[in-house]
Amino acid sequence: MSETANVALDFRNIDILFDRSGRRGAIEAALARLDAGETREEISRALKVTVGVAGANLGVARGEISVLMGLSGSGKSTLLRAANRLNQPIRGEVRIGNGSAWLDIARCDGDTLRELRKTRIAMVFQQFGLLPWRSVRDNVGFGLELRGMAPSVRREIVEEKLALVGLSSWADAQVHELSGGMQQRVGLARAFATDADILLMDEPFSALDPLIRRKLQDELMDLQKRLKKTILFVSHDIDEALKIGSRITIMREGRIVQTGTPGDITLRPINDYVADFIRHMNPLPTILAAAFMRRFRDLPVRPDGLLDAGTIAIDQHAPTAHVADRGVVMRACGEWEPGAVCIVPTHMSLGEVIVMRQRSGFPVLVEEDGQLVGVCDDADIYQALSGERRRG
């Protein structure tokens, strides 16, 4: 596959089980039952073995933010933690590109694993995981210190990473003097400091209040534009996932249900479970015009050859718009003036389309590559809001 060249981290058939029974052979017995198709509950009840993750396959492309989503206990953290072997997969491979070859993190020896953790894979924790007896500076330099880097060399890198997250003036503060948002910035700086190309983030913003959370999401995306890390991100917030994820994976009871782009997930949910999940998202910033507009080819044609878009009629070839047989001006939304029909690009969000629909009083036209391709009228907006179209 040509796609594998671009894959930075590759989970293959990962099973992770936790033995609560302490009996020898419990894990093997559980695997046999798992292969025979028994559910997680049955296995848990019969053998006191928790199936954390079962049969997970996931490729994380270089430079993307891949988000793992699911309800509590669905195995998101467990899968994420397999990437640096904080959880040991019982079966399967976690492959990481290592120059030209692949390396299996799940089975490599201890020294190789430590080397990977020091240089390739960094982690950001939900509860920050900072060392409270150290200053901010020494927390950020922690990973470098573990490598045995001299303090003088370390200092420069630490300053740079602190500047990156906007905490330069706090370098000598104690961790407890910082607010939650700032503490997590320290966590981010610590992860950036090792120059790892892969970042594991387990609900890094969940412990923060909503305003700070949104701010840090924006900052992360800004940083990501510059740094182009490969990020595996766990979230239980669908809006967060749709906002920052270039690829979203929905998990349920230890299994991956669906993987896809935010568009795939919102428009083509694979089953009712995913659809249900999506229904709880805030649609305004996430659904794009391209997803809910009515395409011209689906519009009825009037006897005079114009396309019938409710209150306006469109001549697709001129192109012009007509209201009650009188032509009206069309303007791109940046240059819109009262009395004109508004034209928006396909990547305009539902929220913005609603604003333009409201202001202009006309249905909103959608263009793609300089061509008018569709229209958003009230019915389309309502459908998008209610999620009906998305489920079909």
Ligand X SMILES: Nc1ncnc2c1ncn2[C@@H]1O[C@H](COP(=O)(O)OP(=O)(O)OP(=O)(O)O)[C@@H](O)[C@H]1O
Interface residue list for Mg ion (CB under 5 A): 77
Span of 26-34, 130-138, 228-236, 356-364 interacting with another protein by CB under 8 A: 130-138
* Cβ nearer to another protein, comparing 102 with 125: 125
Overall residue count recorded for the chain in this entry = 392
Q: With contacts defined by CB under 8 A, how many residues of the chain interact with another protein?
A: 28
Interface pick for ligand X out of 70, 245, 363, 387 (rule CB under 6 A):
70
Q: Should residue 123 be labelled a site residue for another protein when binding is judged by CB under 8 A?
A: yes
Residues 24-63 that bind ligand X (CB under 6 A): 50, 52
Residue 66 engages ligand X in binding (rule: CB under 6 A): no
Residue 122 interacting entry, from another protein, Mg ion, ligand X, none, C-beta within 5 to 8 Å by type: another protein
Specify burial of residue 346 (Cβ count, 10 A radius: 0-12, 13-18, 19+): middle
Q: Is residue 22 involved in binding ligand X (CB under 6 A)?
A: no
Single out the segment in contact with another protein by CB under 8 A; choices: 69-77, 141-149, 229-237, 334-342: 141-149
Among 77, 183, 230, 266, binds ligand X (CB under 6 A): 77
Total residues at the site for ligand X (CB under 6 A)? 12
**Residues whose CB is less than 8 angstroms from the CB of residue 192 and which lie 6 or more positions away in sequence, other chains included:** 122, 161, 164, 165, 223, 227
131 interacts with another protein by CB under 8 A: yes
- Its sign, for the CA torsion 311, 341, 337, 354, is positive
Q: How many CB atoms lie under 10 A from the CB of residue 301?
A: 12
User: Would you count residue 92 as binding ligand X (CB under 6 A)?
Assistant: no
CB under 5 to 8 A by kind: which of Mg ion, ligand X, another protein, none does 266 bind? none
Query: What's the Cα-to-Cα distance from 305 to each of 295, 314, 315, 348, 371, rounded to whole Å?
Result: 16, 9, 8, 28, 18
Q: Is 143 in the site for another protein (CB under 8 A)?
A: yes
The answer to whether 321 and 328 have CB atoms below 8 angstroms apart is yes
Q: Based on CB atoms, which residue is closest to another protein, 65 or 116?
A: 116
Among 91, 107, 118, 389, binds another protein (CB under 8 A): 118
Is residue 115 involved in binding another protein (CB under 8 A)?
Answer: yes
Q: Which amino acid is at 251?
A: M
Q: Determine, following the binding rule CB under 8 A, whether residue 19 of this chain makes contact with another protein.
A: no
Residues that bind ligand X (CB under 6 A): 18, 50, 52, 70, 72-78, 236
Residues that bind another protein (CB under 8 A): 84, 86, 113-119, 121-123, 125, 127, 129-131, 133, 142-143, 145-147, 174, 176, 190, 194, 200
